[in-house]
Amino acid sequence: MSFMRKPFVAGNWKMNTNSNTSVELVEAIASRTPEAARKSVHIAVCPPFVYLQGVINALNKSGIAVGAQDIYFERDGAFTGEISPAMLKDIGCTYVLCGHSERRHVIGEMDELINKKIAAAIIGGLLPIFCVGELIEQRKASKTEEVVTQQVKKGLAGLSAGKVSAVTLAYEPVWAIGTGLTATPQQAQEVHALIRKLLGEMYDDKLAEEIRILYGGSVKPNNAAELMSQQDIDGLLVGGASLNADDFVAIIEAAT
Ligand code: PEP
């Protein structure tokens, strides 16, 4: 599946909202997003698991897609507390975040597990948003290229070009997530170009040209347009600012 790099803005709500505010938030986003922006930008929100169904029902026919923040790689069975791709698909999810930095660095997920989750998501008919990014110590030690290259290679290990075409990459420098520090558009562009080149080497030029690579890390209405103006930035993964309907809609508009 290829989207030919139509701009994509996704909101990661993390562990926020409740049964009322999750629905209020998407209703506000849906009603305030202009028709033109809805046509020219793919939009998704990723609420906590327990609010997915309510948000999906509220977004009915709005054209705004819904993603989960995590997944387990098995189809069903004795995996207490886990959620399978089939379950997410069943309730109408389109996307799933895989390898978000908080799962890597707070929960302790490793590349091998992330790889299994990406593969399972694709096989289960979901579109993974595969997050990579370096820690501040790694950037300071000039290891950004090495770290991101390893994360991409390990995360996509064993997946054919056909399968990887379902993936959206997200470059999220860990030092920029939730900190108010944003990578400069040039810093972000440099890593996006590196990822695209790597995908060309791992697969082929066509895949590298068509795959979408989002930037994430303290994206706000006042920096979204400049980030989007970079050649290899195809969209934005938004955390904190996606919890405010006006800010999230302003970011969507900046991506048109
Ligand atoms: C995120 O959660 O992926 C993220 C980028 O968060 P924030 O926008 O709050 O930095």
Q: DSSP secondary-structure letter at 49?
A: G
User: What residues are labeled active site?
Assistant: 100, 172
Q: What is the pLDDT of residue 1?
A: 34
CB 34 less than 6 A from any atom of ligand 1: no
Ligand 1, residue 219: give the atom nearest the CA.
8
How far does residue 154's CA lie from ligand 1's centre (Å)? Answer: 23
Residue 232 · residue 196 · CB < 8 Å: yes
Ligand 1 in reach of 240 Cβ (< 6 A): yes
Tokens encoding 48: 């906590």
What's the CA dihedral at 182, 185, 187, 188 to 10 degrees?
A: 80
Task: Please count the residues of the chain.
Answer: 256
CB atoms within 10 A of CB 65: 19
> Ligand 1 pocket, 178 CB below 6 A?
yes
Look at ligand 1, atom 1, and give the residue with the nearest C-alpha: 239
Q: Where are the alpha helices (DSSP H) in 124-220?
A: 136-140, 144-155, 161-164, 185-202, 205-210
Cα–Cα distance for residue pair 53/91, rounded to 1 Å: 6
pLDDT of residue 4: 73
What is each CA distance from 16 to 48, 162, 244, in whole angstroms?
Answer: 7, 35, 12
User: DSSP class of residue 9?
Assistant: E
What pLDDT score does 250 carry? 98
The rounded radius of gyration (Å) of the Cα atoms in the chain is 17
> Is the minimum distance from the CB of 183 to ligand 1 under 6 angstroms?
no
Give, for ligand 1, the residue of 8, 14, 16, 69 to mutate: max count of ligand atoms closer than 8 Å to Cβ: 14
Q: Based on DSSP, count helices (H) and strands (E) in the chain, helices before strands.
A: 13, 8
Q: CA triplet 105, 108, 111: central angle to 5 degrees?
A: 90
Please answer whether residues 161 and 210 qualify as being in contact, where contact means their C-beta atoms are separated by less than 8 angstroms.
no
What does the alpha-carbon distance between residue 166 and residue 249 come to, in Å, rounded to a whole number? 25
- Residue-level pLDDT at 180: 87
**DSSP per-residue codes, 155-184:** HTTT--HHHHTT-EEEE--GGGTTSS----
What are 132's two structure tokens?
Answer: 């990579």
172 C-beta closer than 6 A to ligand 1 = yes
How far apart CA 248 and CA 101 sit, in angstroms, is: 21
Task: Write out residues in the chain with pLDDT < 50, as ranges.
Answer: 1-3
The amino acid present at 53, given as its one-letter code, is: Q
Asked if residues 163 and 125 have their Cβ atoms less than 8 Å apart, the reply is: no
